[in-house]
């Protein structure tokens, strides 16, 4: 396995050889969810993508500290209904209760997609002190100014003195000035329209607010990531990730805040995932072109002909590179389901193959090794999951050839077989985190055992021309969506 | 269902009629886990007990805000090994990474016990600002004093002025003075040995520390619960819970802090769970009298003859009242497993019963209704789960009588049957959260369907004297730990 990992860096707009700041260790920060609504499918794609990246970095033997925040500073307002008496605190809306609910829902969805938990999951509201201190540092360094209890970041002064503003997003400060000129009137507290709030004075009906040197208020949205990445990864770390839509203004302002407070560009490599489309268009609630993860799993939506299991959806996501847009269509999902089943079946069959090693021909071993090497090379090439999958599918063809006897297995060496088996384990379990959710579920081989018995009984019934029993088995299998497949090596089964 | 809930209040040392501060709403705070090691079985008992209380309060139609904190202020020290270079921050221990790991493990264990997540799960490190503010309030009110950067709570002044110190735990301040006199030398910063730290100045090698008006340091352990309960439930709420071992000093000091800062006894009702023993003795690592939840599930321990499923362990816990000690022994677990299976089977059979209603005798309906009413009355009597279970078992006998034909079903009315079915659903699912983990697991009826087929084939084979097939079924069932049971209503099956 080669270690020459290359990643596309949004900051330089090119692919670069990855070099960690401290040999053997990687610090990675990814912008997490806002927990005041259910997680979108597009967010799921982003977090699945970074989970694959995290898992692959660990396969490369890096010690990774993966920090993904939870944005729980909510902008909920008091609904004004004093439901009971003035003292009836219990009857009022508590933003953290809402945040906890959606935070739990988010974790559940991430579990459904079989992603790993980050090393640290800091909450924005849990780091108000750190954010207040960062605002003070920015003010002390001359890049922040206070106005009526709110504090703003002085983008023009920062741009002029450091030349750093706009580097990540490619925006030019002059354009920004023009772009936002129309909004100037509303933003009268700001010196320049491109300035942004790092501390906001709270209105009376704002529910989440904290004491600060400037006002009772709350931190600006961009600030939390700067404060939390610095706290847990230091002022300078390896990888910062997030969705493409966060590049501007969120990440651009994050960079400005970090440099403004600590004189340091926070991250060496900036990685951005691309958008999830549906039927070629951006998902949008207003025109009905949208689907939730749950609707996708159950099939309860006009946009799909049936439900797709979470692992099929995940496999579908892996079929595109994280930097490409991914277009969700029913046809593409149907195709993904087929491909996923084929991959899973080969993975299962691979465990049963034994070597004969009676031939001296080395060609099959060389061919297999070539695809294995290529699969890792694809992952090393900016985590190219679709290309790595295509190498695995070349191996699936070879495995299927062995199983159905159409391919000569006599030259397969024990070493190659083991390498093939470990490659499938590493890719399926460690890198992709794909588990077979089309089969029996986690019940300790109970379904496998029962199916063995049923297949035996069916075989015997057929031999004895007991068509009643074999028809009964056939009907029940149909009812339970189980497909039996008779082959040279006996009967196997899969879920439809 | 009666609403005259009574709870035992540790503060008054008697059972009292429960009356919420705001009609229809309940605020409940429970001291949660410290996440720097795996959760103990004793802690699991406490959290399972409060989960039942939370669930039952919701069954009583209360709108409950249940806050359970996570203590993640760790007292980890820098290990002094500067592993790489001075700048190698990634290579150093990060306490929040440890906290996250054990926090995830704790949540997983709570899921295994099928407990519900609290409404809000605040972390201590996420409320440093609130804790600093509370220290300031305590100082401002004259009950806190600073010494060398640390701040202490003045227990003597507080006791003399308010007369409140020691009320919850029953300790007398004079005793405390004597008790801790020997430690006086070490505690030279304190005015009195019973005083306790509310802010501690951190040593250089202390990893978790924050800026404060007094020093770079960290909050005293007792402070977090005062600050977080006040933030999310107000200065005065309904229920405060925790393990018995927290009564002193933790809860006593919490009360002192709340009164010291906000002049208000925080909670109307204080509920404390009792200890989990093993083989009659306190669990203790040093003498080997200990077992982890995992060891209990797998049976990998000298203290148990086999593994017990999480639901069997939970059922075992419910067989004692939360205020009684619970003695874990292998015999008691074996008995609990039998009882649990019997309960689950009756619950399953209950779904299949239909009424005939051909007799006019009302005695069976009255008898059933009596036990149902008693079960709720037991829950209303300080959440007496063992007594409520005994009522359910009286109903199990009646159900089993119906099923095996030993009891006349003709008088059972549709109304009583529905009441019986809903009682079992409410107790098993809503109150106790017991799911049948001895059976097939969550696979959408797949195992049920396969077993139906196998039972049919077996039946036919027996009729045809095809002993080969029926023996084959018998052997496989044995191998898979499935027990078939032939009865008047056909063949049923359970997992051994």
Q: Which of B330, B266, B324, B325 is nearest to B295 (CA)?
A: B330
Q: pLDDT: is B482 or A70 the higher one?
A: A70
Task: Flag if B133 and A211 touch (Cβ within 8 Å).
Answer: yes
Residues in A closer than 8 angstroms to B98, CB to CB, are: none
Residue ranges of domains in chain A, CATH in brackets = 6-273 (3.40.50.620), 277-431 (1.10.730), 446-495 (no CATH)
Query: Which residues in chain A touch residue B96, judged by CB atoms under 8 angstroms apart?
Result: 120, 122, 232
The kind and range of the H/E element at A48 are helix A41-59
DSSP secondary structure letter of residue B275: P
Residue linked to tokens 């290309």: A387
**pLDDT score recorded for residue A89:** 64
Nearest CA in chain A to B119: A97
Confidence label for A85 from pLDDT (cuts 50, 70 and 90):
very low
Chains A and B form CB pairs within 8 A to the count of: 163
Whole-number Cα distances in Å, B395 to A451, B366, B368: 37, 12, 7
Q: How confident is the model at residue B437 (pLDDT cuts 50, 70, 90)?
A: confident
State the pLDDT at residue A83. Answer: 40
* Mean local confidence (pLDDT), B3-18: 95
Q: Tell me if the pTM is above 0.80.
A: yes
Percentage, residues of chain B above pLDDT 70:
91
Query: Given this model, what pLDDT does residue A491 score?
Result: 82
Is this prediction's ipTM beyond 0.90? no
- Asked if B126 reaches chain A (Cβ–Cβ under 8 Å), the answer is yes
Q: Provide the shortest C-alpha distance from residue B27 to chain A (in Å).
A: 7
Q: Does B411 touch chain A (CB under 8 A)?
A: no
User: What is the least distance, in Å, from the CA of B440 to any CA of chain A?
Assistant: 6
Query: Does B264 contact A at CB distance below 8 Å?
Result: no
Whether B449 sits inside 8 A of A476 (CB atoms) is: yes
The pLDDT of A258-284, averaged and rounded, is: 96
Average pLDDT in the B209-230 region?
96
Residue A26 to residue B90, Cβ atoms within 8 A:
yes
Establish if B32 touches chain A: CB-CB under 8 angstroms.
Answer: no
Both tokens of B396, joined, read: 């199990």
Q: Which residues contact A395 (CB under 8 A, 6 or more apart)?
A: A346, A368, A371, A372, A420, A423, A424
More confident position, A14 or B357: A14
Across the interface, whether the CB atoms of B119 and A129 are under 8 A apart is answered no
| Digit-coded pLDDT (tens) for B118-143 | 999 999 999 999 999 999 999 999 99
Overall average pLDDT of the B341-353 stretch? 92
Is the confidence at residue A82, as pLDDT, over 50?
A: no
Contacts of B442 in chain A (CB under 8 A): 441-442
Express as a percent the part of chain B with pLDDT over 90: 74
| pLDDT tens sequence across B356-367 | 767 777 899 999
- State the average pLDDT over residues B460-489: 86
* B105 at A interface, C-beta within 8 A: no
**Does residue A81 surpass a pLDDT of 50?**
no
Closest partner residue to B126 among A123, A447, A473, by Cβ?
Answer: A123
Contacts of B25 in chain A (CB under 8 A): 88, 90-91
Structure tokens at A202: 């709270």
Segment B166-176 mean pLDDT:
84
For the cut 80, the answer to whether the pLDDT of residue B2 exceeds it is no
Substitution target in A69, A85, A87, A89 with the highest count of B β-carbons within 10 Å is A89
Gap between the Cα atoms of A161 and B252, Å rounded: 56
Q: Kindly identify which residue of chain B lies nearest to residue A445, measuring between CA atoms.
A: B480
Q: Which of A142, A129, A117 is nearest to A66 (CA)?
A: A117
Q: What is the pLDDT of residue B61?
A: 96
Q: What is the pLDDT of residue B179?
A: 60
Element (DSSP H or E) covering residue A394: helix A385-403
How is residue A373 written in tokens? 């090497």
Is the per-residue pLDDT at A225 higher than 60?
yes
Question: B360 — contact with chain A (CB < 8 Å)?
Answer: no
Quote the minimal CA–CA distance from B309 to chain A in Å: 13
Q: Which of B74, B90, B309 to mutate to test the interface with A (most CBs of A within 10 A)?
A: B90
Task: Check if the beta carbon of residue A122 is closer than 8 Å to that of residue B96.
Answer: yes
CA-to-CA separations, A377 to A62, A385, A389, in angstroms, rounded: 17, 11, 12
Residue ranges of B 445-474 with Cβ closer than 8 A to chain A: 446-447, 449-454, 456-457, 460, 468-469, 472-473
Task: Report yes or no: A118 at the B interface, CB cutoff 8 Å.
Answer: yes
Span B204-230, average pLDDT: 95
What is residue A93's predicted lDDT score, i.e. its pLDDT? 77
Question: Between B405 and A226, whose confidence is greater?
Answer: A226
**pLDDT tier for residue B86 given thresholds of 50, 70 and 90:** very low
A:35-54 residues touching chain B, CB 8 A cutoff? none
In the predicted model, is pLDDT for residue B384 greater than 90?
yes
Determine whether the interchain pair B232/A451 forms a contact, defined as Cβ–Cβ distance below 8 Å. Answer: no
Residues 151-210 on A with a CB inside 8 Å of B are 210
Q: Which of A19, A26, A71, A90 should one mutate to test binding to chain B, selecting the residue with the greatest count of B CBs within 10 A? A: A90
Q: Cβ of A483 under 8 Å from any chain B Cβ? A: no
Residue B388 has pLDDT above 70, yes or no: yes
Is B431's pLDDT higher than 70?
A: yes
Report, as an integer, the average pLDDT of B388-405: 95
- In this prediction, residue B184 has a pLDDT band, given cuts at 50, 70 and 90, of low
The pLDDT of residue B491: 82
Position B34 pLDDT exceeds 70:
yes
What stretches of B330-479 show up as alpha helix (H) in DSSP?
330-350, 363-380, 385-403, 414-425, 446-463, 467-479
Contact residues on chain B for A127, CB-CB shorter than 8 A: 126
Q: What is the pLDDT of residue A182?
A: 52
User: What does R_g of chain B's alpha carbons equal in angstroms?
Assistant: 27
Q: Which of B89, B131, B262 has the most A C-beta neighbours within 10 Å, making it the best mutation to test the interface with A?
A: B89
The two beta strands, B150-153 and B196-201, are antiparallel
Which residues, 6+ apart, have CB-to-CB distance to A344 below 8 Å? A434, A436, A438, A439
Q: Does residue B332 sit at the A interface (CB-CB below 8 Å)?
A: no
Nearest to B64 by CA among B54, B74, B76: B54
Average pLDDT, chain B: 91
Edge to edge, the sheet with strand A267-273 lists A63-68, A25-30, A237-243, A267-273
pLDDT exceeds 80 at position B186: no
How far lies B112's CA from each of B44, B98, B293, B445, in Å? 11, 21, 10, 21
Please write down the HEC assignment for all residues of A123-167.
Answer: EHHHHHHHHHHHHHHHHHCCCEEEECCEEEECHHHHHHHHCCCCC
Measured distance CA(B435)–CA(B433) in Å, rounded:
6
Please tell me the predicted confidence (pLDDT) of residue A448.
Answer: 80
User: pLDDT class for A297, splitting at 50, 70, 90?
Assistant: very high
* Residue B423 scores a pLDDT above 80: yes
Residue A1 binned pLDDT confidence (cut-offs 50, 70, 90): very low
Check residue A183 and give its pLDDT.
54
Lowest mean pLDDT among A1-10, A138-147, B221-230, B419-428: A1-10
Rounded distance between C-alpha atoms, residue A162 and residue A142, angstroms? 12
Residue B444, pLDDT score? 56
Closest C-alpha among A399, A335, A340 to residue A367 = A399
Average pLDDT over residues B242-271: 96
Joined together, the tokens standing for residue B94 give 């990060």
The per-residue pLDDT for A444 is: 56
Identify from A129, A238, A297, A476 which residue to disrupt to test chain B contact, counting B C-beta atoms within 10 A and taking the largest count: A129
Q: Is the pLDDT confidence value at A87 over 50?
A: no
Q: What is the pLDDT of residue B81?
A: 46
**pLDDT over 80 at A271, yes or no:** yes
Could you tell me which chain B residue has the CA closest to the CA of A86? B22
Say which residues have a Cβ less than 8 Å from residue B398's Cβ, sequence separation at least 6. B364, B367, B368, B371, B407
């Amino acid at each position: 396995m080669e270690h020459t990992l290359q990643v596309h860096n949004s900051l330089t707009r090119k692919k670069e050889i990855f070099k960690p700041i401290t040999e053997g260790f990687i610090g990675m920060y990814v912008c997490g969810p806002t927990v005041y609504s259910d997680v979108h499918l597009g967010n799921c794609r982003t977090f699945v993508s970074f989970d694959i990246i995290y898992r692959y970095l660990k396969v490369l033997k890096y010690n990774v500290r993966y920090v993904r925040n939870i944005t729980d500073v909510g902008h909920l307002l008091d609904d004004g209904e004093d439901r009971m008496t003035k003292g009836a605190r219990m009857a009022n809306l508590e933003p953290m209760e809402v945040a906890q609910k959606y935070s739990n829902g988010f974790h559940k969805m991430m579990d459904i997609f079989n992603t790993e938990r980050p090393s640290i999951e800091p909450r924005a509201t849990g780091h108000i002190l750190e954010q207040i201190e960062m605002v003070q540092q920015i003010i002390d360094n001359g890049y922040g100014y206070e106005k009526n209890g709110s504090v703003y970041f002085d983008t023009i002064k920062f741009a002029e003195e450091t030349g750093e503003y706009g580097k990540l997003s490619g925006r030019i400060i002059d354009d920004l000035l023009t772009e936002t000129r129309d909004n100037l009137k509303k933003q009268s507290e700001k010196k320049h329209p491109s300035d942004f709030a790092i501390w906001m004075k709270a209105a009376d009906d704002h529910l989440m607010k904290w004491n600060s040197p400037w006002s009772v208020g709350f931190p600006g949205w961009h600030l939390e990531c700067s404060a939390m990445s610095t706290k847990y990864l230091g002022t300078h770390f390896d990888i910062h990730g997030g969705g493409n839509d966060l590049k501007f203004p969120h990440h651009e302002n994050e960079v400005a805040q970090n440099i403004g407070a600590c004189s340091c560009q926070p991250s060496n490599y900036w990685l951005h995932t691309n958008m999830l489309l549906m039927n070629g268009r951006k998902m949008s609630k207003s025109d009905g072109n949208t689907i939730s993860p749950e609707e996708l799993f159950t099939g309860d939506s006009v946009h799909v002909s049936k439900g797709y299991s979470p692992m099929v959806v995940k496999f579908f996501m892996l079929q595109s590179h994280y930097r490409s847009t991914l277009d969700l269509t029913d046809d593409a999902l149907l195709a993904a389901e087929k491909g996923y089943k084929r991959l899973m079946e080969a993975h299962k069959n691979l465990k049963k193959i034994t070597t004969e090693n009676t031939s001296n021909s080395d060609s099959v071993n060389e061919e297999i090794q070539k695809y294995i090497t290529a699969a890792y090379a694809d992952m090393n090439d900016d985590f190219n999951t679709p290309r790595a999958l295509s190498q695995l599918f070349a191996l699936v063809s070879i495995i299927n050839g062995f199983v159905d006897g159409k391919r000569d297995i006599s030259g397969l060496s024990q070493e190659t077989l083991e390498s093939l088996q470990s490659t499938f384990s590493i890719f399926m379990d460690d890198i992709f985190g794909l588990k077979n959710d089309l089969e029996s579920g986690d019940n300790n081989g109970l379904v496998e055992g029962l199916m063995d018995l049923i297949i035996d009984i069916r075989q015997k019934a057929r031999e004895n021309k007991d068509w009643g029993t074999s028809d009964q088995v056939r009907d029940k299998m149909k009812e339970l969506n189980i497909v039996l497949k008779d082959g040279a090596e006996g009967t196997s089964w899969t879920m439809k």
